[in-house]
Structure 1
Amino acid sequence: MLLAFSVAPSGTGRTDGSVHDAVAAAVRIVRESGLPNHTDAMFTTVEGEWDEVMDVVRRATEAVGEYGSRVSLVLKADIRPGHADELTGKVERLEAALHTEKVRLP
Structure 2
Amino acid sequence: MSTTALLDRPVRVPLTDAAKIGTYGGYSTLRKKIADGELPAERVGRRLFVRRDDLEAMATPVVGHPTEQATIEKAIERIVSSAPRLSAEHRDRLAVILGGGAA
Hey, which of these two has a bigger chunk of helix by percent? 2
Answer 1 or 2: higher relative contact order, Cα 8 Å, separation at least 6: 1
Q: TM-score when scaled to structure 2?
A: 0.29
Q: TM-score when scaled to structure 1?
A: 0.28
